[in-house]
Amino acid sequence: MKRTLAAIAAVLLIVGIGVIATGGTASAGSSAQAHRSALPKVGHYEGRDSHHRHIRFYYGSHGQVINFRVEHTAFPPAHVQGDKWHHTCHNNHCTRGHWINDTTVNGHWNISTHSGGDVAFSARWISH
């Protein structure tokens, strides 16, 4: 009888430790996930800028934003580092942006010869 009670106590102790360990791991995982960088999803993105103009581009598996367009105006390709690309210009056409989650990008574009300054945009992943 004492052996049976000791065995049951040992099992309960092991289960209790497992629950505590799992709970601690889940909390740490949730905290780490809340602080992780976005993982940009490869594919086509579309959105609007702050003046309601159509924005579109493609993010490729080689870490490049290509075919960035505001309406029909083309902008240069940009290299993505992690979850963002830094201010990238060619012929006075400039963009920069960052993923706020795996499928949503916020950023700015400008044409430096125009006096309008930076124009904010937001775009979402639409397809591969």
- 3-class SS at 48? strand
The model carries a pTM of 0.71
Protein fold of 43-127: Lipocalin (2.40.128)
Task: Give the pLDDT confidence score for residue 19 in this predicted structure.
Answer: 40
pLDDT along the chain (128 residues), means of 10: 56 47 43 68 98 98 96 97 96 97 98 88 96
What are the residue boundaries of the structural domains of the chain, listed by start? 1-36, 43-127
Task: Give the pLDDT confidence score for residue 22 in this predicted structure.
Answer: 41
Q: How far is CA 71 from CA 6, 47, 65, 112, in A?
A: 75, 11, 16, 17
Q: What is the DSSP letter of 81?
A: B
